[in-house]
Amino acid sequence: MIDFEEELKKFHPSLEVEQVEENVYKNKPKDMADLLDEMVKELKGGSRY
């Protein structure tokens, strides 16, 4: 039988997951409101940047 407490003690997240998490927090991905705002600006002839 599996001893879950013992297995949890052995667990270490992979470096890839930590790197992705760090990059996501650094880059502050756009949410839906940001994307809609950009689309409206483009439709009105404004600049994206």
pLDDT, one tens digit per residue, over 1-49 is: 889 999 999 988 777 877 888 877 887 777 888 888 989 999 998 655 5
Quick one: pLDDT at residue 47?
56
- Count of structural domains, the chain: 1
Domain annotation covers residue 48: no
Domain annotation covers residue 22: yes
Domain annotation covers residue 37: yes
Quick one: pLDDT at residue 13?
75
Which residue range forms the structural domain that includes residue 12? 4-43
Domain annotation covers residue 49: no
Quick one: pLDDT at residue 32?
85
Quick one: pLDDT at residue 49?
54
The residues, any chain, with a CB within 8 Å of residue 34's CB and separated by 6 or more, are none
9 within 8 A of 16, measured Cβ to Cβ? no
pTM for this entry: 0.36
What type of residue sits at position 17? Answer: V
Quick one: pLDDT at residue 5?
92
Domain annotation covers residue 16: yes
